[in-house]
Chains A and B, each alone.
Chain A
Amino acid sequence: MHPAFSVIFLTTLIGVGQGLFLALFTVESYAAFDLLPKQDGRFYAFGSALALGFLVAGLIASFFHLGHPERAWRSAAKWRTSWLSREVIVLPAFMGMVFLYGAAHFTGYNPTLATLPSAVPVRLTLLLGVAGTVLAFALFVCTGMIYACLRFLQEWHTPLTVINYTLLGGASGFLLATALAALAAPEVTRFYAGWTMILALLALVGRTASLLRNARLKPKSTLRTAIGVKHPRIVQKAQGAMGGSFNTREFFHGRSAALLRQVKWIFLLLVFPLPVGLLASGVGMDSPIVMLIAFAVQYLGLLAERWFFFAQANHPQNLYYQAVS
């Protein structure tokens, strides 16, 4: 597929936003159970604002993907069948929830709505957080499923797609949260750092699994099934248009296999060992800057990862668009 930057940014940015929110709410819930020290509302408020910032940026990026952004509202119509439609619903819902969550923390309006048997108060932010969490995961599922549901994009058509979107988004969000904590809530920095590493490790496992899986994929469609002629040797000579077409622009990355391989190693490096290493040293040095650098490095890596995610997907339609003459 042709990696469109709008989509690369959309998926990576909202991934950070989702991960960051999840990180915030994790601490809040731990804190609710007194497993971690309680944090000031402003930490959550600021964190939520930051998450919202990423989400909005992602949303803006997504508009660049549309031919008719002014009609974007229409895209909520087919939520029964379309994961894209569902994403379009869940994303703003999630953004709304993040906003409310942040606003509640910011304004300090956080009434206790109930009390759990263990005398843990259920406050408004906790409820909002739970809702947000559900939406965050829903959003991961929607985003992942947009790709995973396309059966014939075999590289994508696997639960790993959803899992990796979730883990990568989570890892990047938690990494950002670590840096944020180092600045505003030092007590939870190591907690975040720990989770970041766990998530990064899981993401590495997930992503490697998908790489291994994809390397072994046998395309279900071949020229034999594409044109219905049973012969081992079929070669296209002409695709019917010599100056290119939508089909040659949208479904081909147009780069060499070598570049693809390079990008793969680059993202594997940038997303996993490098930021984890930086993070570790950042924690060791107690340097938020180094952690921010770790985040930046990882985000860069995620862009590469997402580029690769698209580029590697081999659309069966490409069988029909291989040669001109």
Chain B
Amino acid sequence: MTQLALVIDLNVCVGCHACVTSCKEWNTSGQAGPMSDFDPYGADPTGTFFNRVQTFEVGEFPNTETVHFPKSCLHCEEPPCVPVCPTGASYKRAEDGIVLVDYDKCIGCKYCSWACPYGAREIDEKQKVMKKCTLCVDRIYDTTLAERDRKPACVLACPTSARLFGDVHDPESEVSVAIRESGGYPLMPEWGTQPANHYLPRRKTKLRIHEDELVRADNPLKVDGKLPKPAKAEPSLDDVTSW
């Protein structure tokens, strides 16, 4: 069975928000839209977004890590948001595991959002229905798009390719390999929601320099006759013994 998902690589995410506005742009103009904004030019502008990028500071100066953290619906394999929905508007597709909301059925009771520990759902204050990331279901199967474009808007936008898209149930897929080989992990595993989306942690490259690498035989200082030499006047054994 297929479970489509995003894998987000925190090792390269620079927090640019490209995934945020490209998502908004695609979805507000498309089937999942509009994604309304309120007071867009006034005090406290606010609106519906399916994806947000947050920033966390880890540790204390100078050992600080700044973590940029994009978050959208994780398309949980055991999505707590689905069974609680009284209307069936929230559902998980059997064929690809995408969790969706049927706007025509949704009564806007917000109960599903309470049931999502990740805060991944947002009610659209204008349409009064619950909205969330659709994994761009209206792109990924659209055969009128070029093969290359059949990916979520945020994935195509992301300048650092921090967002991978694929089937986490296919062990050979790019996303599965990334999860397996780069330490991919789910968020809040304690709730057993089994998010399909995974995150890849920071990985550090270090360099070790051996001492002898600093005094090599081909040191150019030899050529220029300037290998560090002690001054002639400095004390030596000649000053203390005659053998």
Point out residues on A near B: beta carbons under 8 Å: 1, 65-69, 71-72, 74-78, 81-85, 88, 146, 149-153, 220-221, 223, 225-229, 231, 233-247, 250-251, 315-318, 320-321, 325
Q: Which of B39, B53, B127, B191 interacts with A152 by CB under 8 Å?
A: B191
Interface centre among B58, B84, B87 (most CB of A within 10 A): B87
Q: Which of A75, A149, A227, A316 interacts with B69 by CB under 8 Å?
A: A227
Q: Which residues does chain A contribute within 8 Å of B127, judged by CB atoms?
A: 67
Q: Does B71 contact A (CB under 8 A)?
A: yes
Mask, B108-129, CB within 8 Å of A = 1, is: 1111011111110111010111
- Complex CA gap A153/B116 in Å reads 10
Cβ of B181 to closest chain A Cβ, rounded Å: 17
Cβ of A159 to closest chain B Cβ, rounded Å: 18
B187 touches A225 (CB 8 A): yes
Q: Which of B55, B121, B129 interacts with A238 by CB under 8 Å?
A: B55
B129 touches A321 (CB 8 A): no
Cβ of A69 to closest chain B Cβ, rounded Å: 7
Cβ of B163 to closest chain A Cβ, rounded Å: 15
Q: Which residues does chain A contribute within 8 Å of B89, judged by CB atoms?
A: 74
Q: Does B27 contact A (CB under 8 A)?
A: no
Known pairs A237-B56, A245-B49; A67 contacts B84 (CB<8 A): no
- In the complex formed, the residue of A with least CB distance to B82 is A81
A229 touches B117 (CB 8 A): no
- In the complex formed, the residue of A with least CB distance to B128 is A67
Q: Which residues does chain B contribute within 8 Å of A239, judged by CB atoms?
A: 52, 54
Q: Which residues does chain B contribute within 8 Å of A153, judged by CB atoms?
A: 114
A77 touches B110 (CB 8 A): no
Task: List residues of B (102-152) whose CB comes within 8 Å of A's CBs.
Answer: 105-111, 113-119, 121-123, 125, 127-129
B123 touches A74 (CB 8 A): no
A/B interface sample: 10 pairs, CB < 8 A: A67-B108, A68-B107, A68-B108, A88-B86, A146-B111, A152-B191, A221-B188, A239-B52, A250-B110, A320-B54
Smallest CB-CB A-B distances: 3 pairs: A67-B108, A67-B128, A317-B119
Task: List residues of B (195-221) whose CB comes within 8 Å of A's CBs.
Answer: 199, 201
Interface centre among B53, B69, B127 (most CB of A within 10 A): B69
A231 touches B46 (CB 8 A): no
Q: Which residues does chain B contribute within 8 Å of A240, judged by CB atoms?
A: 17, 20, 49, 52-54
Known pairs A69-B107, A247-B119; A238 contacts B86 (CB<8 A): no
Q: Which residues does chain B contribute within 8 Å of A221, judged by CB atoms?
A: 117, 188, 190-191
Known pairs A67-B128, A78-B83, A227-B69; A243 contacts B123 (CB<8 A): no
B114 touches A231 (CB 8 A): no
Q: Which of A81, A220, A233 interacts with B83 by CB under 8 Å?
A: A81
Q: Does B175 contact A (CB under 8 A)?
A: no
Q: Which residues does chain B contribute within 8 Å of A317, judged by CB atoms?
A: 116-119
- Complex CA gap A233/B60 in Å reads 8
- In the complex formed, the residue of A with least CB distance to B68 is A238
- Complex CA gap A321/B39 in Å reads 20
Known pairs A153-B114, A246-B113, A320-B119; A228 contacts B185 (CB<8 A): yes
Q: Does B154 contact A (CB under 8 A)?
A: no
- Complex CA gap A61/B109 in Å reads 13
A227 touches B39 (CB 8 A): no
- Complex CA gap A146/B109 in Å reads 12
Extra contacts, 8 of them, besides A74-B105, A229-B58, A320-B118 (Cβ < 8 A), are A74-B107, A78-B88, A221-B117, A233-B59, A241-B49, A241-B52, A317-B119, A320-B119
- Complex CA gap A241/B17 in Å reads 11
B71 touches A320 (CB 8 A): yes
- In the complex formed, the residue of A with least CB distance to B44 is A243
A75 touches B107 (CB 8 A): yes
A228 touches B187 (CB 8 A): yes
- Complex CA gap A229/B46 in Å reads 29
Interface centre among A75, A228, A245 (most CB of B within 10 A): A228
- Complex CA gap A229/B202 in Å reads 9
B84 touches A237 (CB 8 A): no
B125 touches A246 (CB 8 A): yes
A82 touches B188 (CB 8 A): no
Q: Does B80 contact A (CB under 8 A)?
A: yes
Interface centre among B17, B39, B58, B67 (most CB of A within 10 A): B58
Q: Which residues does chain B contribute within 8 Å of A235, judged by CB atoms?
A: 56-57
Q: Which residues does chain B contribute within 8 Å of A83, judged by CB atoms?
A: 84
- Complex CA gap A126/B178 in Å reads 66
Cβ of B142 to closest chain A Cβ, rounded Å: 28
- Complex CA gap A72/B108 in Å reads 9
- Complex CA gap A10/B41 in Å reads 36
Q: Which residues does chain A contribute within 8 Å of B54, judged by CB atoms?
A: 236, 238-240, 320
A150 touches B114 (CB 8 A): yes
Q: Which residues does chain A contribute within 8 Å of B3, judged by CB atoms?
A: none
Q: Which residues does chain B contribute within 8 Å of A320, judged by CB atoms?
A: 54, 71, 118-119
Cβ of B196 to closest chain A Cβ, rounded Å: 15
Cβ of B5 to closest chain A Cβ, rounded Å: 15
Interface centre among A68, A223, A321 (most CB of B within 10 A): A68
Known pairs A246-B113, A246-B123; A66 contacts B56 (CB<8 A): no
